[in-house]
């Protein structure tokens, strides 16, 4: 058997049981290993869906340029789809992102514009604003806007959710995911709750993001915004893809716990993953401890990406020490 292009290999990632790292909970903790997608992250799913939908609507034509603001993973997914389909790519990203991510985007033929992290989203220098401006200036361009493009949520409703349901034979009781654009948690949760509305959905956020306070108050509190290190989760905006009506609990993970759990996953489980994966697993285990989950509980946690993006950061002792994460 063979595939007609690399795009046909997106999705259908395995569920793997955590053993040592989850030894303190009685619940079965399963992780969905999204780094086994061709672009090594869950974002391949939304990249393909956003491009398919844009082509169907006539928004993308031969020779078009795809322009997107991305922390790296969505860009990689889009660059892979663009390479197969024959589009050009320009990506804006922040100076917080790892060098590996930027180099990978360039390796796939994309142009990368690096923007400052610590500016307001509305600031003309922010990676959101620069992407939007470029899409207005460059003719025959398409701006997917993963934050507000509902194809993002739909990708997970159509693929991630059904896969988890089938892989657990409908036994899943808890679903845990980091919250970035909101598409992964919302689309998957919507599908799972339609199957069984008793399933609990736990979102994992970073300290310095607005999500947790927004979840509890329904109000956007600018005072919550602060710099943090973990890449790929947390926001300083409320994207169109996040729907808190599908979320039962939000747990904030400190950067240090995210990084140390990420390292544990590599060294104790052989799962070479990124920092948002460590955050999601830490949040899942924290929730399991708080709620005293039992052997009847089956928790599924999304591991969004690969450790290959973070060799110079999380897997570098000097970097870890410089941020106070190790002695």
pLDDT of residue 191: 98
Residue 93's nearest CA partner among 66, 65, 74 is 74
For the purposes of burial, counting CB atoms within 10 Å of the CB of 68, is it exposed (0-12), middle (13-18) or buried (19 or more)?
buried
pLDDT of residue 99: 84
pTM over 0.85: yes
Would you give the DSSP letter of residue 123? S
Q: Map residue 293 onto helix, strand or coil.
A: coil
- Cα distance between residue 211 and residue 225, in whole Å: 10
CATH class of the region 6-36+157-322: alpha beta
**Low-confidence residues in the chain, pLDDT < 50:** none
Residue 196's nearest CA partner among 174, 223, 229, 221 is 174
Q: Are the C-beta atoms of residues 246 and 185 closer than 8 Å to each other?
A: yes
CATH 3.40.50.1100 fits 43-142, yes or no: yes
pLDDT of residue 316: 97
pLDDT of residue 47: 98
Residue 128's nearest CA partner among 115, 139, 142, 137 is 115
Domain ranges for the chain: 6-36+157-322, 43-142
Residues identified as active-site:
43
- Cα distance between residue 89 and residue 66, in whole Å: 5
- Cα distance between residue 239 and residue 249, in whole Å: 18
Task: Let me know how many helices (H) and strands (E) the chain has, helices first.
Answer: 11, 10
Q: Are the C-beta atoms of residues 203 and 250 closer than 8 Å to each other?
A: yes
- Cα distance between residue 167 and residue 12, in whole Å: 10
Do 6-36+157-322 and 43-142 agree at the fold level?
Answer: yes
pLDDT of residue 71: 66
pLDDT of residue 326: 95
Q: Are the C-beta atoms of residues 193 and 170 closer than 8 Å to each other?
A: no
pLDDT in tens, 1-59: 999 999 999 999 999 999 999 999 999 999 999 999 999 999 999 999 999 999 999 99
- Cα distance between residue 114 and residue 96, in whole Å: 9
Q: Are the C-beta atoms of residues 104 and 72 closer than 8 Å to each other?
A: yes
| DSSP conformation letters of 16-39 | EE--STTTT-SSEEEEEEGGGSTT
């Amino acid at each position: 058997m063979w595939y007609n292009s690399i795009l046909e290999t997106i999705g259908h990632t395995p569920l793997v049981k955590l053993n040592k790292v989850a030894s303190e909970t009685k619940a079965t903790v399963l992780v969905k290993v999204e780094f086994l997608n061709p672009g090594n992250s869950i974002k391949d799913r939304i990249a393909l869906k956003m491009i398919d939908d844009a082509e169907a609507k006539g928004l993308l034509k031969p020779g078009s340029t795809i322009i997107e603001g991305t922390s790296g993973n969505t860009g990689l997914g889009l660059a892979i789809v663009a390479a197969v389909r024959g589009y050009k790519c320009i990506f804006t990203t922040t100076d917080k992102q790892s060098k590996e991510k930027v180099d990978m985007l360039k390796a796939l033929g994309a142009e990368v514009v690096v923007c400052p992290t610590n500016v307001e989203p509305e600031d003309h220098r922010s990676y959101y604003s620069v992407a939007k401006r470029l899409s207005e200036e460059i003719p025959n361009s398409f701006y997917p806007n993963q934050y507000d493009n509902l194809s993002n949520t739909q990708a997970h409703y159509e693929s991630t959710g059904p896969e988890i349901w089938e892989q657990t034979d409908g036994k899943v009781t808890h679903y845990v995911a980091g919250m970035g654009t909101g598409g992964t948690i919302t689309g998957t949760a919507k599908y799972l709750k339609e199957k069984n509305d008793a399933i609990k959905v736990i979102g994992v956020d970073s300290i310095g993001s607005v999500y947790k306070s927004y979840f509890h108050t329904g109000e956007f509190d600018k005072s919550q915004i602060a710099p943090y290190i973990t890449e790929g989760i947390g926001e300083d905006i409320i994207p169109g893809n996040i729907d808190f009506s599908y979320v039962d609990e939000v747990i904030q993970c400190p950067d240090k716990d995210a990084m140390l759990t990420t390292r544990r996953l590599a060294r104790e489980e052989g799962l070479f993953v990124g920092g948002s994966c460590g955050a999601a697993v830490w949040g899942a285990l924290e929730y399991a401890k708080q709620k005293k989950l039992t052997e009847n509980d089956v928790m599924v946690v999304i591991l969004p990406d690969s450790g290959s993006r973070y060799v110079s950061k999380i897997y570098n002792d000097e970097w870890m020490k410089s941020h106070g994460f190790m002695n």
